[in-house]
Amino acid sequence: MQGMGGHDMVVLRGLILYMVCGKACIYNPTTRQSVTLPVRPVIKFSQKVKCCDESIIYYFGHDPVLDQYKILCIASTILTSINSLTSEHWVYVLESGGFWKRIGFDCQPHIPTIGRLCISGVIYYLAYVSLSCYVLVSFDVRSEQFNIYEITQSAL
C-alpha cells in the first residue's frame, strides 16, 4: 500500500491487516483510521539452541456467528543445533482491551507459506513441515482449533 510502508497485507470484510516495521496494523479505509496492535510476547530459546531462520506471519479471521475479528500470529523457527522446527501460535481478539494470548497447538510444527484465505469463520493456509512435505492447515476462528491435512506432491 503506497504511503503505508506495508508489504504484506490481508483484506477481510473491508478491513486491511498490514505490517509496518514488524508490527501488525489494522486499517479501515471507510473511516481512514489505523490501529497498531500491541507487540506479541516473545518466547526466548536457551542460548545453547542455535536458531537458523524465523518466520512470523499474521492471519486475519472473522467469526460470522459472534461477529468477532481475530488476528492469528504464527512464529516458526528452525533450530539448527538440534535439527528441529518449532512454532508458536498467538491470537488477538480485535476489541477494546484486546491482548495477545498463546494458544495450544497439538499438531506438527510447521512454517506457513504466504497465501491465506478466510471463509465462513475458518482461516486456510498452506505450510510445510519439511522441505518436501506440504500441508493444508485450517484454523477455526471461534473455537481457536487447528486441523492439518496432508497434501500429496502431485496435488501441488
Q: Where do the domains of the chain lie?
A: 9-37+50-155
The single residue listed with the C-alpha cell 507487540 is 39
Tens digit of each residue's pLDDT (9 = 90 or more) over 84-134: 778 889 999 999 888 999 998 888 888 888 678 999 999 999 988 877 788
Residues 89-109, buried b or exposed e (16+ Cβ, 10 A)?
A: bbbbbbeeebebeeeebeeeb
Tens digit of each residue's pLDDT (9 = 90 or more) over 45-67: 444 444 566 778 899 999 999 99
What phi and psi values does residue 30 have, to the nearest 5 degrees? -70, -45
Query: Which residues have a Cβ under 8 Å from the Cβ of 119 and sit 6 or more positions away?
Result: none
* pTM of this structure: 0.82
Written as one letter, the residue type at 153 is Q
Sheet holding 145-150, edge to edge: 111-119, 122-130, 133-140, 145-150
Neighbouring CB atoms inside 10 A of 1's CB total: 12
